[in-house]
Structure 1
Amino acid sequence: MTAILGIWDVTIKTPIGSLVVEYMFTAGDDGLRGVATLRGDTTALDDIAVEGSRVTWRQSITKPMRLHLEFDVTVDGDQLTGHSRAGRLPRSAVSGARRG
């Protein structure tokens, strides 16, 4: 679980362009929590799961359109790579770095 803890600057390469999103993962009494912040809008993450270096989660967004996203990334030290998917839309590449 500790592999993902911290604040991450994550780039998501979507069909409409790249988005740079801040993700923050923390450990609470009830498990792992996370939020994503883009342009001042913060969204809670759901169903965060960690299996070794693999981390998955879900989140819903309303801008630029209403979508339900599923993320699947691998953490390697202070770097993460993987993809996100919104329903039947093509996968979007995800990469990020943990803030020092």
Structure 2
Amino acid sequence: MDPVAGTWDVTLRTPIGTLTAVYTFTDAGGTVTGAADGAPLTDVACADVPAGRRVTWRQAVTRPMRLNLEFDVVVVGDAFAGHSRAGRLPRTVVTGTRRRPPA
């Protein structure tokens, strides 16, 4: 199972304010797929790096405006950190915390 598999509470610190979303990544036989609040992610790719597991993906959003985002994060345990970018706009800081199943 890939280290990114699971449900994540994600925070994006954008120039227009902080946004939150729930991301879900699944690993089906070595192929990782994902969704953000139910909308599919595209081009999900994972690779080992010295600091952890690097995960990249693309996402089309319509709110607060129509954008095509590119994400690049590093997963370490139950957290990830990195950035997203939309064209020429400044980078957005992205952090995530894995949700634990109820006990």
TM-score past 0.5 threshold: yes
Task: Give the secondary-structure state (helix, strand or coil) at the position aligned to 2:64.
Answer: coil
The one of 11, 18, 40 aligned to 1:44: 40
The normalised TM-score by structure 1 is 0.91
Distance 2:97 2:16 in 1: 22
Q: Which ranges of structure 2 fall in alignment gaps of 5 or more residues?
A: none
**Corresponding residue of 2:69:** 69
Q: Kindly, what percent of the aligned residue pairs are identical? A: 54
- Amino acid aligned to 1:50: C
2:29 and 2:4 map into 1 onto residues whose CA distance is 16
Distance 2:93 2:40 in 1: 21
Aligned to 1:60: 60
Residue 16 of structure 2 corresponds to which residue in structure 1? 16
Structure 1's unaligned 5+ residue stretches are none
TM-score normalized by structure 2?
0.88
Of structures 1 and 2, the larger Rg is shown by 2
- Partner residue in 2 for 1:81: 81
Q: Which runs of 4+ in 1 moved over 4 A?
A: none
